[in-house]
C-alpha cells in the first residue's frame, strides 16, 4: 500500500497491488458447507509460473450501490470478471465494514499463457484478498493479518486461500497440525525431497471447463459416496502429511494419483454426472504409469476438475522428464502445449 497522504483527515485514496500464484491440490477440496467451509482438509503445492496481478485503488464512495466504478482485465473492460469481483466485494462487507465507504478502480491481468484452460480464480482471489487485507490494515490502523487475507481469499474461491503461502499448504481442520477451516497455513517443515517439486501441466484440452467448481462442490451433497469419501480424504490427508515430512516419495505418488482419480470418480458418479477426462487424458495416464515402471523414476500425475494432467516430479529429474515429455507425450497435448511450473513462494506485493 502506498498511503498517498499521511493524515487520516486528508486521505483521498489508498492503493494496493499484489501478485499471487496458482496452486495444485494433492489432497482435493471437494464439497463445502455454509460460507465456503470445506467438508475436508486439503493440501496443495503453491506454483510459480502462473500468476494473477490485481491492483486496487480505493476512493471514498460517491455511489453507494456499486463497489467497482472502473474495472479492466488485461487493459480491457470485462463484464464477466467485473460482476464476479463486484458480487464478492458486496458479500464481504460484514468482514470489512469500511468497504461501504469506498469504491474501487481495479486493474487485473494473468501471466498464464493464453487459452490453456487453466482456471485463474485461485490466483486472482488470492491477489485481490492480499490487496484488501493490506487496505484493511491501513484504513483501520491495524497490523496486516495473513489469516484475514487467507480468509478473504477463501470467501472468493476456496482454493484461493492456499495460494498466499509458499511451498506446501494446508487448509482445514485435521489431526496432524493445528489448523482452521477459515484460512490456510503453510506446512512448516517438509522433507528436502519435496522442497523443489516440479509440475509440468500437459494441456489435453484448452476449452473452458464444462463444470463450474461451485456446481461441482454442490454435487457432494447427497452423493451416495459422500461419507466414505470424507473418511478417505481424512486418511489420505494424514498419510500424505506423514509422507511429506518423512520423505516417502513413492507413497506420496500413490496417494496423489488416488486423490485425482477419486475426484473424477466422484464427478462421474454424481447426479447429474460429469466426465471431464478426455481420451488423451487416459492415454497419457497409461503412458505415465508405463514409463514409471520401466524408468523407475518418481514421476506421478494429478488432475484438477478438468482434462489436463499435472505431472509431478522432483527437480533433479527435470532434464530427463522434459525429454520424455517432448518425445512421447506432446503428441497427445492440444497443439503440443505444456506449461513447466514448479513450487513457488506465494503472494507478493507488486508495483502499482
- The footprint of ligand DP6 (CB under 6 A) covers 25, 28-30, 36, 42, 121, 157-159, 213-214, 217, 263, 304-305
The distance of closest approach from Cβ of residue 209 to ligand DP6 in the complex, given in angstroms and rounded to an integer, is: 10
DSSP string, 311-349: EEEEGGGHHHHHHHIIIIIGGGSGGG-EEEEE-----EE
* Residue number, 172 or 314, with CB nearest to ligand DP6: 172
The distance of closest approach from Cβ of residue 117 to ligand DP6 in the complex, given in angstroms and rounded to an integer, is: 13
Three cell numbers written together for 82: 467485473
Residues 245 and 189 sit within 8 Å (Cβ to Cβ): yes
The distance of closest approach from Cβ of residue 291 to ligand DP6 in the complex, given in angstroms and rounded to an integer, is: 25
The distance of closest approach from Cβ of residue 157 to ligand DP6 in the complex, given in angstroms and rounded to an integer, is: 3
Closest residue to ligand DP6 using C-beta atoms: 158
* Residue number, 30 or 104, with CB nearest to ligand DP6: 30
> Which sign, positive or negative, has the C-alpha torsion 5, 145, 21, 33?
negative
* Residue number, 43 or 139, with CB nearest to ligand DP6: 43
The distance of closest approach from Cβ of residue 308 to ligand DP6 in the complex, given in angstroms and rounded to an integer, is: 12
Closest-CA residue to 17 (of 52, 46, 50) = 52
- Name beta bridge partners: 19: 53, 348
Instruction: Determine the Cα–Cα distance for residues 238 and 43; give it in Å rounded to an integer.
Output: 10
* Residue number, 161 or 284, with CB nearest to ligand DP6: 161
CB neighbour list of residue 243: distance below 8 Å, 6 or more residues apart: 249, 251, 252, 255
* Residue number, 131 or 306, with CB nearest to ligand DP6: 306
Amino acid at each position: 500500500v502506498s498511503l498517498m497522504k499521511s493524515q487520516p483527515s486528508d486521505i483521498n485514496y489508498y492503493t494496493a497491488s499484489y501478485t499471487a500464484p496458482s496452486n495444485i491440490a494433492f489432497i482435493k477440496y471437494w464439497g463445502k458447507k455454509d460460507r465456503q467451509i470445506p467438508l475436508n482438509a486439503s493440501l496443495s503445492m503453491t506454483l510459480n509460473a502462473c500468476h494473477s496481478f490485481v491492483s486496487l485503488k480505493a476512493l471514498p464512495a460517491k455511489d453507494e450501490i456499486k463497489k467497482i466504478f472502473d474495472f479492466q482485465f488485461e487493459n480491457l473492460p470485462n463484464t464477466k470478471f467485473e460482476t464476479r469481483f463486484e458480487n464478492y466485494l458486496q458479500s464481504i462487507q460484514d468482514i470489512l465494514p469500511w468497504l461501504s465507504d469506498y469504491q474501487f478502480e481495479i486493474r487485473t491481468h494473468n501471466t498464464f499463457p493464453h487459452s490453456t484452460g487453466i482456471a485463474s480464480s485461485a490466483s486472482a482471489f488470492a491477489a485481490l484478498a492480499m490487496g484488501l487485507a493490506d487496505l484493511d490494515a491501513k484504513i483501520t490502523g491495524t497490523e496486516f493479518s495473513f489469516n484475514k487475507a487467507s480468509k478473504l481469499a477463501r470467501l472468493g474461491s476456496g482454493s484461493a486461500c492456499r495460494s498466499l503461502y509458499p511451498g506446501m499448504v494446508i487448509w482445514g481442520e485435521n489431526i496432524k497440525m493445528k489448523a482452521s477451516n477459515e484460512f490456510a497455513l503453510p506446512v512448516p517443515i517438509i522433507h528436502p525431497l519435496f522442497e523443489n517439486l516440479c509440475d509440468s501441466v500437459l494441456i489435453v484440452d484448452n476449452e473452458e471447463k464444462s463444470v463450474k467448481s461451485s456446481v461441482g462442490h454442490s454435487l457432494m451433497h447427497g452423493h451416495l459416496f459422500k461419507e466414505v469419501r470424507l473418511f478417505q480424504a481424512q486418511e489420505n490427508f494424514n498419510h500424505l502429511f506423514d509422507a511429506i515430512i518423512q520423505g516417502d516419495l513413492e507413497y506420496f505418488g500413490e496417494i496423489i494419483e488416488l486423490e485425482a482419480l477419486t475426484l473424477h470418480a466422484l464427478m462421474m458418479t454424481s447426479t447429474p454426472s460429469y466426465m471431464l477426462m478426455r481420451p488423451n487424458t487416459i492415454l497419457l495416464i497409461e503412458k505415465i504409469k508405463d514409463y514409471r515402471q520401466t524408468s523407475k523414476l518418481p514421476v506421478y500425475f494429478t488432475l484438477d476438475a478438468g482434462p489436463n494432467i499435472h505431472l509431478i516430479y522432483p527437480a533433479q529429474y527435470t532434464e530427463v522428464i522434459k525429454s520424455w515429455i517432448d518425445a512421447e507425450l506432446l503428441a497427445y497435448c492440444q497443439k503440443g502445449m505444456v506449461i513447466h511450473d514448479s513450487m513457488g513462494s506465494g503472494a507478493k506485493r507488486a508495483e502499482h
